[in-house]
């Protein structure tokens, strides 16, 4: 367990460094951790991984939950507080055999080569493929469904914690696995998923692509989180203490700053922890009670993103409404870090990318995956597909330069047949939104 904790700390530092790099370029896929909401508008989201599960809660601390499946228990508790969550579901892990069970209280508790939910040998008790009625109950009660992988197979290696785990080796297999669950939700429930969180947050695929590329193909955003609900941890040997360790961090955070969780995404577990226990069945009610006491409304990530799409921008005086409408229509206007940076001066690369839709980007990516030359250029240059789409590769060398009025007028005139009104020689990103509003109209 100490190794696992160390690995998470190392991974957090690595992600922070990657975030600094990711914040430099626009992306069709944004990592959703938190959102900028107006001051004192207390809304927050919760996400629940690895379900749905028909296994009963363990232990039964509340007599009313005797024999009740964990997912149904969570639905009932959320209903009591008029709360709606985002359930990050799997398809099934029943095909992840042959395998053998690992040691309880350790990361490999559910399997050595693969994960098996809800527990080893009981795979058919969990997942959207086998528990369709639970999926229907989630949707009926207003919850959101997101894609956690059909088989919950790692996208790539993680030698520190999961060195013995099998994993995908290329983007085709990753997309195929995600698409299998996507199509299941679409065909069985007429439901279109828009987000995904990779199993164990492993992003790098061995063939050079990442989860962000796979999500671009499917038109997804990356479902991250900013606050850990704690239900994944192994027991400390005392159930009440396990629950306390889930509730106290939230209590202490809000006690220090009542607005601290505004716009944040809380990570939860719709499944057992490493000790085959479900403290979330008790802690969730206490967490919601605390949130309710501070005036928080718990909504799905989809709803929160629809209202306030970015984590640094909600200023209506700087064309926020235009940005929100462009985002709803699927234009690539935000950075991978989910920032918008309204006051940043527009670059040539951003000028091009902000006119492109995520759906067109995904199609372009699928078309070039098999081309060694285009693939290499895409992996090297974050805006390559944009320049390729508009046949303006002549602009690539100037990608990071500030876009001039001449650049903007020329690009729009050549590509869209409209001439935008640009006052200064350069333009801020929030000002460019007014130019793009003409694109919406046309």
Residue pLDDT, tens place only, 74-95: 999 999 999 999 999 999 999 9
Q: Between 3.30.1330.10, 1.20.58.760, 3.20.20.370, 3.40.50.720, what CATH number should domain 33-304 receive?
A: 3.20.20.370
Entry pTM:
0.94
Q: Which residue has the tokens 């193909």?
A: 217
Give kind and range of the element (H or E) at residue 222: strand 221-223
Domain with CATH 3.20.20.370 in the chain: 33-304
What are 218-267's pLDDT values in tens digits?
Answer: 999 999 999 999 999 999 999 999 999 999 999 999 999 999 999 999 99
pLDDT of residue 21: 74
What are 372-387's pLDDT values in tens digits?
Answer: 999 999 999 999 999 9
pLDDT of residue 3: 60
DSSP state of 16: H
What are 194-213's pLDDT values in tens digits?
Answer: 999 999 999 999 999 999 99
pLDDT of residue 61: 92
Please answer whether residues 305 and 223 qualify as being in contact, where contact means their C-beta atoms are separated by less than 8 angstroms: no
pLDDT of residue 1: 59
Distances in Å between the Cα of 182 and the Cα atoms of 44, 89, 215, 218, 359 are: 26, 11, 12, 9, 16
What are 27-78's pLDDT values in tens digits?
Answer: 999 999 999 999 889 999 999 999 999 999 999 999 999 999 999 999 999 9
pLDDT of residue 4: 58
pLDDT of residue 353: 97
Tell me the C-alpha distance between 83 and 61, whole Å.
22
Question: What are the start-end ranges of the E strands in 17-116?
Answer: 31-32, 43-49, 86-89
pLDDT of residue 420: 74
Give kind and range of the element (H or E) at residue 401: none
What are 269-292's pLDDT values in tens digits?
Answer: 999 999 999 999 999 999 999 999
pLDDT of residue 161: 87
Q: Does 187 have pLDDT greater than 90?
A: yes
23 band by pLDDT with thresholds 50, 70 and 90:
confident
Please answer whether residues 152 and 113 qualify as being in contact, where contact means their C-beta atoms are separated by less than 8 angstroms: no
Please enumerate in sequence order all residues whose Cβ is within 8 A of that of 29, keeping only pairs 6 or more positions apart, or say none.
212, 215, 216, 220, 221, 222, 336, 358
Q: What is the mean pLDDT of the chain?
A: 94
pLDDT of residue 424: 79
175 band by pLDDT with thresholds 50, 70 and 90:
very high
Query: Of 332, 368, 366, 335, which is closest to residue 352 (Cα–Cα)?
Result: 332
Rounded percentage of the chain residues whose pLDDT exceeds 90: 87
């Amino acid at each position: 367990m100490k190794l696992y904790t160390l690995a998470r700390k190392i991974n957090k530092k690595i992600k922070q460094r990657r975030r600094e790099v990711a914040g430099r370029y626009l992306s069709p896929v944004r990592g959703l951790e938190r959102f900028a909401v107006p001051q004192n508008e207390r809304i927050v989201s919760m996400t629940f991984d690895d379900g749905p599960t028909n296994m009963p809660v363990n232990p039964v601390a509340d007599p009313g939950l005797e024999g009740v499946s964990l997912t149904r228990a969570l639905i009932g508790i959320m209903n009591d507080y008029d709360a709606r969550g985002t359930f990050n579901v799997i398809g099934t892990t029943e095909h992840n055999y042959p395998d053998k069970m690992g040691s309880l209280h350790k990361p490999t508790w559910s399997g050595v080569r693969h994960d098996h939910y809800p527990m080893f040998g009981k795979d058919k008790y969990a997942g959207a493929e086998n528990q369709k009625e639970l999926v229907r109950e989630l949707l009926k009660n207003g919850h959101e469904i997101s894609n956690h992988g059909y088989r919950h197979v790692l996208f790539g290696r993680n030698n520190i914690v999961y060195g013995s785990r099998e994993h995908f080796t290329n983007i085709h297999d990753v997309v195929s696995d995600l698409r299998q669950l996507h199509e299941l939700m679409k065909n069985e429930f007429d439901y279109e998923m828009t987000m995904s969180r990779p199993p164990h947050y492993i992003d790098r695929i061995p063939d050079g692509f990442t989860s962000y590329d796979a999500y671009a193909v499917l038109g997804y955003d990356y479902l991250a989180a900013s606050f850990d609900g704690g239900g994944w941890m192994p027991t400390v040997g005392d159930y009440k203490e396990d629950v306390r360790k889930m509730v106290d961090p939230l209590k202490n955070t809000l006690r220090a700053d009542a607005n601290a969780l505004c716009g944040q995404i809380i990570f939860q577990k719709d499944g057992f922890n490493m000790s085959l226990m479900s403290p979330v069945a008790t802690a969730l009610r206490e967490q919601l009670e605390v949130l309710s006491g501070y005036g928080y409304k718990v909504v799905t990530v989809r709803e929160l993103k629809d209202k306030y799409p970015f984590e640094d921008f909600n200023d209506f005086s700087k064309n926020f409404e235009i940005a929100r409408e462009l985002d709803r229509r699927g234009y690539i206007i935000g950075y991978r870090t989910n920032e918008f940076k309204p006051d940043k001066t527009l670059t040539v690369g951003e000028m091009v990318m902000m006119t492109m839709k995520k759906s067109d980007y995904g199609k372009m990516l699928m078309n070039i995956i098999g081309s060694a030359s285009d693939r290499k250029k895409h992996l090297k240059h974050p805006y390559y597909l944009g320049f390729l789409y508009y046949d303006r590769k002549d602009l690539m060398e100037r990608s990071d330069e500030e876009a001039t009025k001449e650049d903007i007028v020329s690009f729009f005139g050549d590509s869209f047949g409209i001439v935008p009104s640009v006052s200064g020689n350069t333009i801020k990103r929030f000002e460019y939104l007014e130019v793009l509003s003409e694109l919406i109209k046309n």
